[in-house]
């Protein structure tokens, strides 16, 4: 039985307990300032210790991150690894014949005339004697080679992911799959690239952007003169001129035949057709039409063609100066607009008959016709026209050489033999001398 | 002619002591990272936090741990205080958050280790008789069976004597939620306390009743 205090109901056990807890809590003494100060000292110490722990943890974490980064950088494959070191699993491997790779990736000859480098995926290149080159990096997609001086010939195996880059003096040649020869003369600052197959992109000074060079074209850049010239070359010319080790008859160690021109009596020596064009551009600089001539020399062919398209082709052909017509023909040839090039050259001949430029146009028309299917006969006629008008002219050796090639293709080697003998008599060290001798020895 | 002379009364103007700095100025000093502000905040608000903690936990030593933890976090997070006029509620919210975290940690620990929460041995440092100390120990044992929110609501409302509004603000809950949690806690504590025969015997002994 529970007591009943004056009719007031007994408080529940919970109420009693809660009241007890409340009373106990109320009896807690208020802390003095000294006690609070002492406790704050403890808290301050704890805070300082926590800060020190966080700093230590941060340093340990950073050290861990750094160590992980170092290990990752060491273990993971590195693109562009320098040669001579252990290569990553996917990097191309290579063999060097006739030389060795020394510190810095420089290729040094070892008694042999040439240095040849072969890569596992089939790409190879050959350095002509005296060429100073450096293997800058090798990756799984290709390599980067620097030609500091001299001539090198490349045969790059086409692959979708291939990336081969050749630093040639201040120029950069980017290739995927192609055969080409490139040279750089550091003294005269002259860049020369001849492309047999494929397509390459060239960047560097002079040109405002990337220059795309296609198969059969030759790009010559003369930095002191700020001239950029592209000329077309066909198979016969390549056989005669190129020093590529991947041609049938050429010696890879020989400098291009066109680099050793035959002096032509009574006229300035012309080193090769490309430079003939170059010389013409130089000549034209002193006269009217300077803008287009300079634009073509600077590689701004599209600029010239755009102006022609704006003004109208007929209008231009009817009123342009002799120099402008030749510049237009060059720009059109570089951009593979053969019809426009032919029209410009024909306009040159029709409007300025009897002029040296009209004769030059005849030779260039021969080159254009030669590149057209089934027009070799026309080409021979144009070469005859030129040779008749300028037997010792700028393009004489070129025209006769091209006539040998065209006649052989048109009527056979026997018909071309007499032309070959005539060529050797007139131009014994000319650019087509090798082809002429080959024809006579192995008709 | 004699020149006029004037005498200006000079008085020594003392800067206000830190004890007289308002809560708003103290909050601004905390935000700016002034070292003195931490100590002053401790002096001003650590008793508040301690009382809340001991009401919920019953153990002064554990309450002091909670207070230290609250102020360690406060020092780290002081710059996140956006409204200087809300310094008190900012600190109380911190304290509630730490208390909830601690209570939940204890429950999880007891579930994982299959051991009940430790019995409190130093219920309060006040002069109570043996029966009263034993009753308080049993009362906090019952409280420890509640969920963290129910326990906090009950202790803030009935031991710390906070109003429903104050409790709701401190715990960042709605009024209805506080009421619901309070009813649930009261119901469960009543059931548990009435079914605890030893506790009932202690209560009867306390009242001077003895079983025949």
Per-residue pLDDT band at B12 (split at 50, 70, 90): low
Residues in chain B within 8 Å Cβ distance of A31: 46-47, 50
Question: Closest residue of B to A48, CA-based?
Answer: B72
What is the DSSP secondary-structure string of B12-46?
Answer: --PPPPGGGS-HHHHHHHHHHT-HHHHHHHHHHHH
Query: According to the model, what pLDDT value does residue A38 have?
Result: 84
Chain B interface mutation, best of A3, A15, A25, A53, highest count of B Cβ atoms under 10 Å: A25
Indicate whether A289 pLDDT > 80.
Answer: no
Query: Tokens at residue B37, please?
Result: 């502000």
Cβ pair B26, B87 in contact under 8 A = yes
Instruction: Choose the weakest-confidence range: A23-37, A261-275, A351-365, B151-165.
Output: A261-275
B72, B125, B186 ranked by CB distance to A50: nearest: B72
Q: Kindly determine whether residue B125 and residue A28, on different chains, have CB atoms separated by under 8 Å.
A: yes
> Could you tell me the maximum CA-CA distance found in chain A, to the nearest angstrom?
151
User: Could you tell me if B150 lies within 8 Å of chain A, comparing CB atoms?
Assistant: no
How close, in Å, is residue A13 to chain B by CA atoms? Answer: 6
Q: Kindly determine whether residue A18 and residue B51, on different chains, have CB atoms separated by under 8 Å.
A: no
C-alpha dist (Å) from residue B71 to B43, B57, B76: 11, 18, 9
Query: According to the model, what pLDDT value does residue A367 have?
Result: 84
Query: According to the model, what pLDDT value does residue B114 have?
Result: 65
Q: For residues B50-72, give the mean pLDDT.
A: 87
Question: Closest residue of A to B55, CA-based?
Answer: A25
Indicate whether B178 pLDDT > 90.
Answer: yes
Reported as type and span, the H/E element at residue A389 is helix A376-389
- Backbone phi, then psi, for A219, in 5-degree steps? -115, 125
CA dihedral B50, B51, B56, B60 (to 10 degrees): 60
Residue pLDDT, tens place only, A299-353: 778 888 888 888 888 888 988 888 889 888 888 887 778 889 999 999 999 998 8
Put simply, whether the predicted model's pTM sits higher than 0.95 gets the answer no
Q: Kindly determine whether residue A17 and residue B139, on different chains, have CB atoms separated by under 8 Å.
A: yes
Indicate whether A133 pLDDT > 50.
Answer: yes
More confident residue, A282 or B63: B63
Cβ pair A195, A214 in contact under 8 A = yes
Reported as type and span, the H/E element at residue B55 is helix B35-57
What is the DSSP secondary-structure string of B80-146?
Answer: G---GGGHHHHHHHHHHHHHHHHHHHHHHHHHHHT-PPPPPS---SS---HHHHHHHHHHHHHHTTS
Contacts of A324 (CB under 8 A, 6+ apart): A288, A289, A292, A293, A316
Instruction: Give me chain A's average pLDDT, please.
Output: 77
Q: For residues B146-155, give the mean pLDDT.
A: 91
Per-residue pLDDT band at A288 (split at 50, 70, 90): very low
Question: Closest residue of B to A28, CA-based?
Answer: B126
User: Could you tell me if A391 lies within 8 Å of chain B, comparing CB atoms?
Assistant: no
Indicate whether A209 pLDDT > 80.
Answer: no
Q: Give CA–CA dist A43/A36, Å, rounded.
A: 10
User: Could you tell me if B66 lies within 8 Å of chain A, comparing CB atoms?
Assistant: no
B75, B124, B203 ranked by CB distance to A16: nearest: B203
More confident residue, A341 or A255: A341
Query: In chain B, pLDDT over 90 holds for what percent of residues?
Result: 18
B42, B126, B200 ranked by CB distance to A13: nearest: B200
Q: Give CA–CA dist A50/A46, Å, rounded.
A: 6
Indicate whether A78 pLDDT > 60.
Answer: no
Contacts of B67 (CB under 8 A, 6+ apart): A39, B46, B49, B50, B53, B95
How close, in Å, is residue A56 to chain B by CA atoms? Answer: 17
B72, B190, B209 ranked by CB distance to A47: nearest: B72
Reported as type and span, the H/E element at residue A43 is helix A33-75
Cβ pair A386, A408 in contact under 8 A = no
Query: According to the model, what pLDDT value does residue A1 have?
Result: 38
- Residues in chain A, how many? 443
Query: According to the model, what pLDDT value does residue A221 have?
Result: 82
Query: According to the model, what pLDDT value does residue A266 have?
Result: 31
- Taking one residue from A and the other from B, the number of pairs with CB-CB distance under 8 angstroms is 97
More confident residue, B6 or A95: A95
Query: According to the model, what pLDDT value does residue B83 have?
Result: 85
Cβ pair A358, A352 in contact under 8 A = yes
How close, in Å, is residue A47 to chain B by CA atoms? Answer: 6
A3, A12, A16 ranked by CB distance to B209: nearest: A3
Q: Indicate the SS3 state at residue A85.
A: coil
Q: Give CA–CA dist B76/A66, Å, rounded.
A: 27
Please, what's the b/e burial string for A320-350 (b: 16 or more CB within 10 A of its CB; e: otherwise)? bbbbbbbbbbbbbbbbebeebbbbbbbbbbe
- Backbone phi, then psi, for A149, in 5-degree steps? -165, 140
Residues in chain A within 8 Å Cβ distance of B58: 21
Q: Give CA–CA dist A355/A326, Å, rounded.
A: 13
User: Could you tell me if A53 lies within 8 Å of chain B, comparing CB atoms?
Assistant: no
**DSSP label of A134:** E
Residues in chain B within 8 Å Cβ distance of A36: 42-43, 46-47
Residues in chain B within 8 Å Cβ distance of A39: 42, 46, 64, 67
More confident residue, A169 or B17: A169
More confident residue, A77 or A292: A292
Contacts of A313 (CB under 8 A, 6+ apart): A340, A343
Instruction: Choose the weakest-confidence range: A168-177, B59-68, B201-210.
Output: B201-210
Question: Closest residue of B to A16, CA-based?
Answer: B203
- Residues in chain B, how many? 212
More confident residue, B60 or B152: B152
Query: According to the model, what pLDDT value does residue A357 have?
Result: 86
Residues in chain B within 8 Å Cβ distance of A37: 43
Query: Tokens at residue A242, please?
Result: 């190129």
Query: According to the model, what pLDDT value does residue B120 have?
Result: 52
Residues in chain B within 8 Å Cβ distance of A24: 123-124, 126, 128, 132, 136
Contacts of A132 (CB under 8 A, 6+ apart): A106, A147, A148, A149, A150
Query: According to the model, what pLDDT value does residue A32 have?
Result: 84
Q: Give CA–CA dist A81/B168, Å, rounded.
A: 66
Indicate whether A256 pLDDT > 60.
Answer: no
Per-residue pLDDT band at B128 (split at 50, 70, 90): low
What is the DSSP secondary-structure string of A345-362?
Answer: HHHHHHHSTTSHHHHHHH
B68, B158, B194 ranked by CB distance to A18: nearest: B158
C-alpha dist (Å) from residue A411 to A388, A404, A406, A407: 21, 10, 8, 6
Long-range contacts: A361-367, Cβ < 8 Å, 24+? A361/A326, A361/A329, A362/A386, A362/A389, A363/A395, A363/A398, A363/A399, A364/A329, A364/A333, A366/A399, A366/A402, A367/A232, A367/A273, A367/A402
Indicate whether A234 pLDDT > 70.
Answer: no
A13, A21, A39 ranked by CB distance to B203: nearest: A13
Most confidently modeled of A320-324, A333-337, A383-387, B111-115? A383-387
Instruction: Choose the weakest-confidence range: A78-87, A226-235, B143-152.
Output: A78-87
Indicate whether B185 pLDDT > 90.
Answer: yes
What is the DSSP secondary-structure string of A230-295?
Answer: EEE--HHHHHHH---TTSSS--TTSPPGGGSPPP-TTS-----HHHHHHHHHHHHTTSS-HHHHHH
Q: Kindly determine whether residue A27 and residue B127, on different chains, have CB atoms separated by under 8 Å.
A: yes
Indicate whether A258 pLDDT > 50.
Answer: no
Q: Kindly determine whether residue A13 and residue B193, on different chains, have CB atoms separated by under 8 Å.
A: yes
Query: According to the model, what pLDDT value does residue A269 have?
Result: 31
Query: Tokens at residue A14, please?
Result: 């919970």
Q: Kindly determine whether residue B123 and residue A25, on different chains, have CB atoms separated by under 8 Å.
A: no
User: Could you tell me if A12 lies within 8 Å of chain B, comparing CB atoms?
Assistant: yes
Query: According to the model, what pLDDT value does residue A345 have?
Result: 92
B42, B51, B60 ranked by CB distance to A43: nearest: B42
Contacts of A273 (CB under 8 A, 6+ apart): A231, A258, A367, A395, A398
More confident residue, B211 or A9: A9
Q: Give CA–CA dist A11/B136, Å, rounded.
A: 16
Reported as type and span, the H/E element at residue B7 is none
Chain A interface mutation, best of B41, B193, B195, B196, highest count of A Cβ atoms under 10 Å: B193
C-alpha dist (Å) from residue A396 to A25, A227, A368, A393, A436: 119, 24, 17, 5, 15
Q: Indicate the SS3 state at residue A411.
A: helix
Cβ pair B51, A22 in contact under 8 A = no
Instruction: Choose the weakest-confidence range: A165-174, A347-356, B74-83, B193-202.
Output: B193-202
Q: For residues A28-45, give the mean pLDDT.
A: 83
Q: Give CA–CA dist B182/A4, Å, rounded.
A: 28
Residue A210: CB atoms within 10 Å: 12
Question: Closest residue of A to B197, CA-based?
Answer: A13
Per-residue pLDDT band at A373 (split at 50, 70, 90): confident
ipTM exceeding 0.85, yes/no: no
């Amino acid at each position: 039985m529970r007591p009943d205090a004056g009719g007031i109901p007994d408080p529940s056990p919970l109420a009693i307990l809660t009241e007890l807890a409340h009373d106990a809590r109320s009896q807690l003494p208020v802390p003095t300032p000294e006690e609070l100060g002492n406790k704050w000292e403890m808290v301050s110490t704890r805070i300082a210790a926590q800060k020190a722990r966080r700093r230590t943890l941060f340093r340990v974490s950073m050290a861990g991150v750094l160590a992980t980064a170092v290990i990752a950088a060491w273990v993971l494959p590195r693109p562009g690894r320098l040669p001579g070191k252990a290569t990553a699993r996917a990097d191309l491997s290579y063999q060097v014949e006739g030389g060795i790779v020394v510190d810095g990736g420089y290729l040094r000859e070892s008694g042999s005339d040439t240095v040849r480098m072969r890569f596992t995926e089939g790409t190879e290149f050959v350095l002509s004697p005296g060429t100073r080159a450096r293997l800058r990096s090798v990756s799984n997609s290709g390599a980067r080679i620097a030609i500091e001086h001299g001539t090198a010939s490349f045969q790059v195996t086409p692959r979708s992911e291939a990336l081969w880059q050749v630093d040639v003096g201040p120029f950069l040649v980017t290739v995927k799959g192609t055969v080409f020869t490139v040279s750089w003369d550091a003294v005269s600052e002259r860049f020369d690239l001849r492309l047999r197959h494929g397509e390459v992109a060239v960047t560097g000074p002079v040109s405002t952007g990337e220059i795309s060079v296609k198969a059969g074209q030759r790009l010559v850049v003369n930095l002191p003169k700020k001239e950029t010239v592209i000329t077309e070359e066909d198979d016969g010319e390549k056989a005669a001129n190129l020093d590529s080790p991947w041609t049938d008859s050429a010696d890879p160690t020989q400098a291009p035949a066109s680099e050793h021109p035959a002096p032509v009596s009574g006229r300035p020596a012309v080193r090769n057709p490309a430079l003939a064009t170059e010389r013409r551009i130089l000549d034209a600089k002193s006269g009217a039409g300077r803008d287009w001539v300079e634009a073509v020399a600077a590689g701004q062919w599209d600029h010239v063609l755009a102006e022609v398209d704006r003004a109208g082709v007929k209008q231009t052909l009817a009123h342009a100066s002799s120099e402008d017509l030749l510049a237009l023909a060059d720009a059109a040839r570089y951009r593979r607009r053969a019809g426009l090039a032919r029209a410009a050259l024909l306009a040159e001949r029709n409007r300025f008959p009897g002029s040296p430029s009209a004769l030059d146009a005849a030779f260039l028309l021969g080159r254009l016709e030669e590149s057209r299917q089934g027009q070799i006969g026309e080409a021979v006629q144009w070469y005859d026209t030129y040779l008749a008008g300028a037997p010792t002219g700028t393009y004489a050796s070129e025209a006769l050489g091209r006539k040998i090639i065209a006649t052989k293709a048109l009527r056979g080697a026997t018909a071309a033999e007499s032309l070959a003998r005539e060529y050797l008599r007139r131009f014994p060290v000319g650019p087509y001398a090798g082809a002429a001798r080959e024809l006579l020895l192995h008709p | 002619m004699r020149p006029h002379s004037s005498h200006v009364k000079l008085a020594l103007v003392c800067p206000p002591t830190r004890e007289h700095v308002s809560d708003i100025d103290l909050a601004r000093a905390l935000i700016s990272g002034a070292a003195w502000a931490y100590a002053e905040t401790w002096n001003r608000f650590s008793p508040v936090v301690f009382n809340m903690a001991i009401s919920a936990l019953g153990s002064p030593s554990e309450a002091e741990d909670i207070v230290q933890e609250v102020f360690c976090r406060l020092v780290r997070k002081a710059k996140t205080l956006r409204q200087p006029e809300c310094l008190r509620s900012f600190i109380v919210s911190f304290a509630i958050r730490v208390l909830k975290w601690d209570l939940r940690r204890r429950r999880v620990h007891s579930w994982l280790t299959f051991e009940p929460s430790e019995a409190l041995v130093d219920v309060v440092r006040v002069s109570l008789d043996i029966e009263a100390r034993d009753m308080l120990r049993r009362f906090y044992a019952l409280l420890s069976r509640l969920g963290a929110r129910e326990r906090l609501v009950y202790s803030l409302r009935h031991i710390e004597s906070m109003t429903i509004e104050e409790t709701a603000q401190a715990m960042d809950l709605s009024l209805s939620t506080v009421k619901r949690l309070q009813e649930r806690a009261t119901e469960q504590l009543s059931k548990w306390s009435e079914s605890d025969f030893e506790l009932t015997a202690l209560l009867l002994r306390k009242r001077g009743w003895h079983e025949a």
